[in-house]
Each structure stands twice: as structure tokens, then as C-alpha cells.
Structure 1
Amino acid sequence: MSDEDISIDEKRVYADKAETTTAFVATGVGVARVEVSDDIVGEFALEHRGAATDLAAADGRLAVATPEDVLVSDGESFAETGFGPADAVGFHDGFVAAGDGTVARLSDGEWTTLGQVEDVRSIDGDMVAAASGVHRLDGTHVGLDGANDVSTVADPLAATDGGLYYLANGWMAAADGAFEVVAGRADGRAHAATAESLYERAAEGEAWTPVDLPAGGPVADVAYGDATYAVTRDGTFLADAGDGWRHRSLGLPDVSAVAVVY
């Protein structure tokens, strides 16, 4: 069901709920803030103008990768950090960013170089996904090739041009295909996407099964909060609180990431 079509009664329910989840979406024109109650996508607005390529959230703060710099927001404003052009951001003992071949950590307002990795696509925990494969933050290569995304929340997972992998006794194949997105929860649930399809895993070690989404378009990213959230590249925000997916178009182009702020 599309949330453009939610009833007046449902809108009242949304308005009456004190508990909502705040998600941020990186788009080609800026960072959008989206309020979600269960699976109802409510108000949204553009919080910061300017192309954003990635997002990471931790401790109530948000880091944004842009072609000019890494921005950090505490919910009031977006401050420059002096990193320079960034391709990806993550969180591991502080915000971590990658750009121009350098991986660095922000601490007390200063960036400290951790390692050198070219063409980084994503950062999660202590792992980096790059054209050359999966690396540690210090640049150590730990396997695979053509990595597009990585998840370290439960068992490490990697989305690559050649398939979806999990880390056990080395990297083990979980599914064939060109995977672009992977995200996992601490309880072992996970999602992964190719350009054509979204897949889900109910628990660690279980099979990956296709998800029937109500909106088309390649999935750009998946995040978790009180529900499961996904965004498509063409600007559709989707939420599933256990009763199926609902969606709403944000009308924003070139979506690349979604993050939930607690």
C-alpha cells in the first residue's frame, strides 16, 4: 500500500503516536529527514541541500558523505569537518570516512588516518567494501573482489559483483548474482539486493528468499529500527513492521543510502 493513499483515520493515528522513528536519506539534491510510525511513512523534508553520497548514524548524530566534505549533524545543523571529498562514511569508535584513497576516523574534531584503500563503496563497523574487495579499516585486504557493500552487525556479509558472501571459515558463497546492497541485524536477520531484486534472511544460517516489494526500482539501501526500512534509487521509501511493506515516494532523485538516528 502506498502512504499517499493512507486514510484520514490512519493519519490521525500517526499524529497521535508519540513514538516515531527518524530516518535520513542521502539523495542527489540533499539529505531528507523522514518520520515513520510503525510502517506508516509520515512527514518528510529536505534538511540539507547539496548532493549526498552516504550516511551513517550513531549516538544521536549523523555523518554525511558529500563530494566536498564530511558533514556531521546533531539534529540542529550540519557542520563541516575538514575531511574533504568523501565516498563513504561509517561508525567504529567514532565516525569513519573514506575518500581519495584514505580511510580516517574523526575524534575530538580531528581526522586520524587509519589506512589506504582506493575506490571505497561502503563502510560498516571495522570493514570496508571496495573495488579491490573487503578490507579492514587499516587497509588490510581480507578477501573477495569487487565488493559493493558490507555488513558486520552479526555475521559479516559482503555484497559483490560475483555474489553474496558470509564470513565463516573464509568467505562462503550464499547466493549467486551481482549484489549491490547488504544489511544485517544483531538477531541474524538480514537483507541483500541486486539491481533487480531484494532478498531477506530470517536468521543466521537460513536461506535467502526473494521479497515482493510493492514499488519497483533498484533498492539503494536497507536500515533497521522499529521496522525494516528500504529506499530505492528513484526515491521511494518503504517500511515493513511485520505486516507487509508500505511505501511513499519522496520525489527526490539519485538516492544512495538510508540511516536511522536514535
Structure 2
Amino acid sequence: MTRGDTSLAEKRVYDAAAGTTDLYVTSGTGVVRVTVSGDAIGEFGLVSRETARDVSVLRGQTNQNHVGSQVGVATDRDVVVAATDGAFEPTATGFGPAEAVSTDGSDLIAGGADGRIARLPDANPTAEWTRLGTADDVRALSGPLVATAAGISRITSAGVEHAGLSDVTDIDTSGVPIAATQEGLYRLGNGWMRLLEGQFSVVATDGNEHGRVSGEDTDGEPQTLAHSGSDWETGWTDRQLPDDRSPVALSYGRGFVAAATANGVVCVDTGEGWRCRSVGIGDVTGLAVVNRE
């Protein structure tokens, strides 16, 4: 996409004055923190050398603009919690090796390679994890929903229950839940309703009328699409990354969308097109946006 190709509707998302933002990128190398201001990608550095699978802003410590003071990180050793307002000093929580993390209200949710799903009250590292149930092949978490090879599972008071679909690769519950699957893109309404055909791998929304999704179209060609408007069955336009890169993670921040590729290229779009920079890592697995006060 060339700069200037963004619709007027989507540009309204980016009207807020640009502030300084940190991106936390997880990878096989560790965790990299990247400073962003507007669409300028600035300093970056490795803040943890532990193999990391996923990262989430702790929503109990945020407002609607994703201003936060902590992140939760799923690593090969444990789920850790770290402050974002200074040196990155992770605190172990005792969950054990994890594949995915998210938040549900103020609580931290984690999924392990063994299928275990558990909740940490108030994301407090000194609290005890509560086992909620199991879900095989956990791929992503968002709020009370779990994306797995078998479909969507929902965390309820009774445990973890199957909630439809199959072969789900990613889920976003910022607004109405949207799921990326190997059979299409789906939005939860009166059941799961298919929005797009294709094989999709990652999805992100801003909780309102805008979203990004990436995967392959019905011909097997890579595609990254953007959505604007109240009708989610229409309003999709091409927003392919430069050089046909494919993101493995997408996330909305205050005034921009961020993407990260498997080989460590971070891209930012403030409404005028993507700007990208390599941050020197490989095997990227996750991305979270933390806006500074």
C-alpha cells in the first residue's frame, strides 16, 4: 500500500495527537521493546532473553486508550508479569510454561501447551492460579474466548466449553468477537457468521468499526485487509504490507495499527500507509501496544 491510500473513514481513527507508545514484541529470541511516536519507529532493544510465546497488556491497569503499567508474557518457563514504566523486571507467577496470555476484566488468563486454562486474580503474581479447564492446542486467547485447533472455547462459570467453529488461529474480543480461521473470517452474532472466505491467521480490531486481518485469499495469495464502517460484511480494502510481507501479529494502539512479521519486521500505520523497520529478531510470536501517559 502506498502512503495516502487510507479511506477518510479510517483516518478518523487517527485524529488523536500522536503520543509516545511502546510495542512489546515476543519471539524465540526474547522480548523486544520498540518505541513509536506517530508512524516513526524509534529506539528498540531486547528487554528479556527468555523464549516468549505471547504478550498482553494487563487490562486491569489500563483505560480505553490502552495506557497501562504492566504486561503479562507467556514464556517457555512461566507466565511473567512486568512493569512497563521503567526497567523490564519480570516476576514469575507459578503457572509454568505457557502458549498464550490475555486478560478477562482485571484477571490474567493463561493457556499452557498441556491444554490447561487458568485465571490469576487481578494479575497478582502472589495470588494462586485457578484452574478453569482444558482446551487442546491453544493458539490464542482474548477475554473469555480461547482459539484452538478444535474451534472456539468459552470460559464460563462451569469451566471451558466448546463454542463453535473449527481450526481457529486467532480471536479478538475488543468489541464483538471476530475469529480468524482456516475456513474464513467470522463475527459472532446470531451464531458465528462468515464475513470473508480464505485462510486467515491473525485478526485485530479497535473495539468499534475498524479492523485488520491477514492470511491467504481463496487462491492462496497473501492478503492483509482493513475494515471501516458498521457493516462488517462489506467495507474491506487491501492494506498489504510492503514487499508482500505477512504479519504474524496485529494490534491497535492509540492512533495507529501495528504489525509484526515472523522475521522481526515491525510496521506502523497511522492512516497514511505502512512504515516498517527490522528490529533484529526472528521467530516472532506476539505483539502488544502500551501507550504512555
TM-score (ref. length: structure 1): 0.90
Q: Does 1:151 align with 2:172?
A: yes
Deviations 1:197-237 (A, max 9, x none): 21111134242222132244321111111211111111110
Once residues 25 and 204 of structure 1 are traced to their aligned partners in structure 2, the CA distance between those partners, rounded to angstroms, is 30
Q: Does 1:29 align with 2:29?
A: yes
Q: Does 1:229 align with 2:248?
A: no
Match of 2:228 among 202, 227, 239: 202
Asked if structure 1 preserves the Cα contact closer than 8 Å seen for 2:209 and 2:228, the reply is: yes
5+ residue gaps, structure 2, are 2-16, 62-68, 217-221
C-alpha deviation, 1:244, in angstroms: 1.2
Match for residue 110 of structure 2?
97
Once residues 155 and 131 of structure 1 are traced to their aligned partners in structure 2, the CA distance between those partners, rounded to angstroms, is 21
Superposed, which structure 2 residues align to 1:176-187 within 5 Å? Answer: 176-187=197-208
Once residues 64 and 133 of structure 1 are traced to their aligned partners in structure 2, the CA distance between those partners, rounded to angstroms, is 24
C-alpha deviation, 1:46, in angstroms: 0.3
Q: Does 1:50 align with 2:64?
A: no
Once residues 118 and 248 of structure 2 are traced to their aligned partners in structure 1, the CA distance between those partners, rounded to angstroms, is 24
5+ residue gaps, structure 1, are 2-16
Once residues 46 and 244 of structure 2 are traced to their aligned partners in structure 1, the CA distance between those partners, rounded to angstroms, is 23
Q: How much is the aligned-residue C-alpha RMSD, in angstroms?
A: 1.7
Once residues 111 and 212 of structure 2 are traced to their aligned partners in structure 1, the CA distance between those partners, rounded to angstroms, is 24
SS of the counterpart of 2:41? strand
Q: Which amino acid aligns with 2:47?
A: E
Q: Does 1:84 align with 2:96?
A: yes
Match for residue 275 of structure 2?
246
Once residues 122 and 237 of structure 1 are traced to their aligned partners in structure 2, the CA distance between those partners, rounded to angstroms, is 20
Q: Greater relative contact order: 1 or 2 (C-alpha under 8 angstroms, separation 6 or more)?
A: 2
Of the structure 1 ranges 104-113 and 82-91, higher mean CA displacement relative to structure 2 is found in 104-113
Q: Which runs of 4+ in 1 moved over 6 A?
A: none
C-alpha deviation, 1:159, in angstroms: 0.5
C-alpha deviation, 1:139, in angstroms: 1.4
Once residues 229 and 18 of structure 2 are traced to their aligned partners in structure 1, the CA distance between those partners, rounded to angstroms, is 31
Report the identity percentage.
40
Asked if structure 1 preserves the Cα contact closer than 8 Å seen for 2:50 and 2:76, the reply is: no
TM-score (ref. length: structure 2): 0.81
Match for residue 129 of structure 1?
147
Once residues 204 and 136 of structure 2 are traced to their aligned partners in structure 1, the CA distance between those partners, rounded to angstroms, is 22
What is the number of equivalent residue pairs in this alignment?
247
How has the CA–CA distance of structure 1 residues 178 and 222 changed in structure 2, closer, same or farther, with 3 Å as cutoff?
same
SS of the counterpart of 1:143? coil
Match for residue 5 of structure 1?
none
Match for residue 260 of structure 1?
289
Q: Which amino acid aligns with 1:110?
A: E
How has the CA–CA distance of structure 1 residues 167 and 18 changed in structure 2, closer, same or farther, with 3 Å as cutoff?
closer
Once residues 57 and 212 of structure 1 are traced to their aligned partners in structure 2, the CA distance between those partners, rounded to angstroms, is 26
